Structure formats: C-alpha cells, structure tokens
C-alpha cells in the first residue's frame, strides 16, 4: 500500500493543481507551490497558472496533486519512540516511517527512554540519529527531573542549550509540589516551558480504567477523574505563584478543562493539548476487556468526550497530539489489569483529526491548524506554515478517502491502536521533508 522513498538531494519541484491549505495565513484555495532545495521558494493561487491550465518552467520537476489538499507537514508534540533502550517497542527509524506515513514531518519525543533524556549526550544522540535517518524531524523534550523520577531537578539550562524544546517527566506526573515549584521558578527565569502529565499518582495507584459504573460492572479498579483535576488545579496555582509557562498534556475531563479555561481567561500562560482517543472514543471502547483501549489517562465518560470536543472548538485546547505510545504484543496480550498503558497514533492522526470536520464540529482548515501551526507555535518550532523561506515540509492528503484502521497493517513497529477496526476518512498521499519526498502512497503495492 505504501512505500518509502530513497534519500536524494532535492532540486526544484513544482506542486501544481493543489488545494493549498495553510491555517497560519488563512490560505484555502487552489494553487501551486515551488520548492527549491530544502525550502519553499514560492506559493500561491496564481503560481504557474496559465488560463485554465498549468505551465511549469523547464528543469523543474512537477508533481500534479490532482486537486487534493497540500498543507504544511503535520507537527506532533507527544511521541514515545523507544530508542534508546526500548527498541523492542519502537525505534527512531520505525517511528520516523510511521510518522511520515501519517503526514507528520516534525515530532517531539518524550524523555522516557533508557537512559532518560536528562543528559546532554542523550539529547545529542537523538538529534544526530534523526538527522542520519532523514525521515521526520525529531526534537526531544528534556526530563524535568533526574531519571524522570520527580525528586531532583535535571540540568534544565544545559539541556535547553543542547536542544531540548521543553521539559517534562513525560508519562510520569511530577507529583512533588516543592520540586515542581522549584522547576517552575527556574523555568520562568529563562522562559522555558514545563509540560505536565496531569495525574495525581496516589489517586491512580492500581487503577486501570476510568472510575465509574462500567469499571464496577467489569470488576476493574477505577482511576477517578479527580486525579487529573487536582493536579491541574495545583499546578495552575504554582504557575500563578512563579510566572512559569505551563502546558498540560492530553487533557481528558470536563472539569479540568473548565479550570484551564478560567486560568487562561485570567491571563495566566497556560496551554494544553489532547489526543484523538479523548475526543473520538469514550470508556465503552474498553468493551470486553480490550487491552488496546487501556490508555493513560484512561478513556473517559461520554460527557467528558463531548467537553473535549467543545474545548477544541472554542480554542481552550490548543493542539492535538498523537500521544503515540508503542507497546509490544507481550505487554498487551495479557489480562486487562496486567496490560501496559498506551496506544500508537502516528498513522491515524490525520483521519481522526478530520473527524472534527467531517462531523461538522469545525471547518477543515480549523481542524488542520490543530496539527500544524498551533503545535508549532506552542513549542516555538520552525514548522507548520506554507511560507517562502520556510523548510519545504509538506503533506498532500485526500480528506475524503475512506479506509478501515487495521492494527496489523499500521507502519508502526508496535500495533496497539485503540482504533482497530474503525472506519475513518482521510489519507496521506505524499509527505515531503526538506524538499525530499520521504513517503508516497502506492495503491498498487
């Protein structure tokens, strides 16, 4: 179905007959784009147009987009890659292939590797390895605390200088209020962002799914929504005290969203993201103990799901991230209570985001902004815009084309998707990184 493209030095390429969509500038019309080497040289509705046709100068490679959408490459700000140390779950290469197959040209990886990204050498390893692979661009988060254990601050300043874009303990909450206050005070001094996995661990201990009637009926230990709400409320108070920029990952409950909404209205520098499971699924997806639907945070109630959708629509939630968390088969093919948390999401980020448009919650351009310019702006990344001089990181996609998610056919090394069997609309046709085609759909394969 799909094929990777060998690495080559890019020349000039004209992408004609495209429906250009660039949320950063509001561009949403038929046109063309010219890349020259690694950068965008020109873009617009009149480019290469002659009457009702297209005329491209000699010596310029031409890609006919056949009227499909051409957007900035997608930006995914929450990805676990597995490498170094957990290559049985995934690697930078496997994540890069899955990302480019999903139209993602920039991703930010969590520090929960082995060793943890709490040292400059690990930051440099990730950056060097990603450059060598030449697939999606990879930026690392630095661990907020040493070993991501929540007890002692990591060398945040040095990690920032080495290239860490923000600081988080990743899949672990930074639960110690004193440590978090110290981290925020330091981060505020240097205008660095802190990202929290909002979950009070003492309330989630031994819990495996959302607390409520369904968990009781299934005989499973519940994770109360208050675990998220309490951590959000606490950290907003700490951010108010220190002046730090604070970001909450994968928010999932109506009450925590309301707290964030009020804090933003009060002028605090608070931002947040969510992931497709929290606006496209609810706790019933656990069904008959489906371990692929065991996620952290857990799938919530239908009321919470609707609140997440509403917050995406009104802008309280700034961005959508895949929350890609690969787990090997042995970690999922066990009883639900023993199964690992997490689901893969790189290949399904586009179609699930487009459900917001297909279900008439928002326009297509507003949906695309949640995976392009908004996450890029949050993390201050040079991505997410169709702008002259920017890197030619592009995605061509068919917004209407339907397919069924099949966990056995995803490009990820691990296959643990909570959306297995779900019919979706939206398919990536071509992904371009620095002017090079790194993925092209091959329907004949």
Strand-strand pairing, 12-22 and 69-72: parallel
Average pLDDT estimate for 212-232: 97
Confidence check: pLDDT of 1 > 50: no
Point out the catalytic residue in the list 323, 328, 420, 443.
Answer: 323
Q: What is the pLDDT of residue 7?
A: 52
No. of H helices and E strands in the chain?
A: 14, 22
Instruction: Report the distance separating Cα 245 and Cα 385, nearest Å.
Output: 24
Q: What H or E segment, with its residue span, contains residue 309? A: helix 302-314
Q: Give the per-residue pLDDT at 2.
A: 53
Does 2.30.40.10 match the CATH number of domain 2-70+392-441? yes
Q: Tell me what percent of the residues of the chain surpass a pLDDT of 90.
A: 90
What does pLDDT average to over the chain?
95
pLDDT at 218 over 80: yes
Q: Hey, what CATH topology would domain 73-378 get?
A: TIM Barrel (3.20.20)
DSSP-derived secondary structure letter, 216: H
Closest CA to 375 of 108, 167, 123: 108
- pLDDT attached to residue 444: 46
Query: For residue 36, what are the CA distances in angstroms to 28, 328, 389?
Result: 22, 41, 10
pLDDT of residue 333: 93
Minimal CA–CA distance to 429: which of 404, 405, 406, 395?
A: 395
Q: What is the pLDDT of residue 445?
A: 38
pLDDT for position 252: 98
* Cβ 277 vs Cβ 296: under 8 Å: no
DSSP 8-state class, residue 87? T
Residues of the chain by 3-state class (helix, strand, coil), percent to 5: 30, 25, 40
- Binned at pLDDT 50, 70 and 90, residue 82 comes out as confident
Q: Does residue 8 register a pLDDT over 90? A: no
From the list 371, 363, 353, the residue with the least C-alpha distance to 426 is 353
Of 82-86, 132-136, 158-162, 217-221, the poorest mean pLDDT is in 82-86
- Residue 288 annotated in active site: no
For the chain, domain boundaries: 2-70+392-441, 73-378
Burial of 291 (0-12, 13-18, 19+ CB in 10 A): buried
Q: Is the pLDDT reported for residue 306 higher than 80?
A: yes
Of residues 3 and 440, the one with the higher pLDDT is 440
Round to whole Å and give the CA distance between 26 and 44.
Answer: 12
Residue 408 has pLDDT above 60, yes or no: yes
**Pairwise CA distance, residues 183 & 80, whole Å:** 23
Going by pLDDT thresholds of 50, 70 and 90, the confidence category of residue 412 is: confident
Burial label for 255, CB within 10 Å (0-12, 13-18, 19+), is: middle
Q: What is the pLDDT of residue 62?
A: 97
Average confidence (pLDDT) over 252-263: 98
pLDDT above 70 covers a percentage of the chain that reads 97
Given a contact cutoff of 8 angstroms between Cβ atoms, the answer to whether 72 and 372 are in contact is: yes
């Amino acid at each position: 179905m799909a094929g990777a493209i060998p690495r080559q030095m890019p020349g000039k390429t004209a992408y004609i007959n495209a429906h250009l969509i660039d949320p950063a500038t509001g561009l949403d019309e038929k046109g063309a784009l010219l890349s020259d080497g690694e950068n965008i040289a020109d873009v617009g509705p009149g480019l290469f147009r002659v009457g009702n046709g297209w005329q491209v100068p000699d010596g310029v490679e031409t890609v006919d987009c056949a009227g499909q959408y051409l957007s900035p490459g997608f930006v995914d700000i929450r990805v676990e890659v597995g490498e170094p140390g957990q290559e049985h779950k995934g690697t930078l290469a496997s994540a890069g292939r899955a990302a480019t197959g999903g139209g993602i040209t920039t991703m930010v990886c969590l520090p929960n590797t082995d060793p943890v990204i709490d040292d400059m050498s690990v930051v440099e390893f990730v950056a060097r390895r990603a450059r060598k692979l030449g697939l999606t661009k990879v930026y690392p988060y630095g661990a907020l605390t040493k070993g991501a254990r929540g007890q002692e601050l990591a060398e945040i300043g040095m990690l920032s200088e080495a290239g860490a874009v923000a600081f988080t303990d990743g899949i672990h909450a930074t639960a110690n209020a004193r440590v978090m206050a110290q981290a925020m005070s330091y981060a505020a001094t240097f205008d660095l962002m802190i990202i929290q996995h909002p979950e009070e661990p003492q309330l989630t201990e031994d819990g495996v799914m959302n607390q409520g009637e369904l968990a009781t009926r299934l005989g499973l230990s519940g994770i109360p929504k208050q675990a998220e709400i309490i951590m959000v409320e606490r950290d907003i108070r700490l951010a108010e005290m220190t002046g730090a920029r604070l970001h909450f990952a994968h928010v999932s409950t109506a009450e925590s969203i309301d707290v964030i909404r009020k804090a933003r209205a009060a002028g605090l520098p608070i931002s947040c993201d969510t992931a497709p499971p929290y606006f496209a699924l609810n706790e019933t997806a656990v069904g008959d103990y489906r371990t692929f639907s065991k996620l952290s945070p857990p799938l919530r109630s239908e009321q919470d799901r609707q609140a997440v959708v509403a917050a995406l629509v009104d802008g309280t939630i700034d961005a959508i991230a895949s929350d890609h968390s690969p787990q090997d088969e042995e970690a999922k093919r066990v009883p639900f209570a023993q199964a690992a948390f997490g689901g893969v999401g790189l290949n399904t980020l586009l179609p699930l985001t487009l459900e917001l448009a297909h279900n008439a919650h928002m326009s297509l351009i507003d949906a695309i902004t949640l995976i392009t310019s908004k996450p890029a702006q949050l993390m201050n990344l040079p991505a997410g815009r169709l702008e002259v001089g920017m890197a030619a990181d592009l995605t061509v996609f068919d917004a209407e084309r339907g397919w069924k998610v099949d966990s056995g056919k995803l490009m990820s090394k691990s296959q643990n998707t909570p959306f297995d069997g779900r019919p979706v609309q939206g398919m990536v046709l071509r992904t371009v990184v620095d002017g090079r085609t790194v993925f092209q759909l091959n329907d004949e394969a």
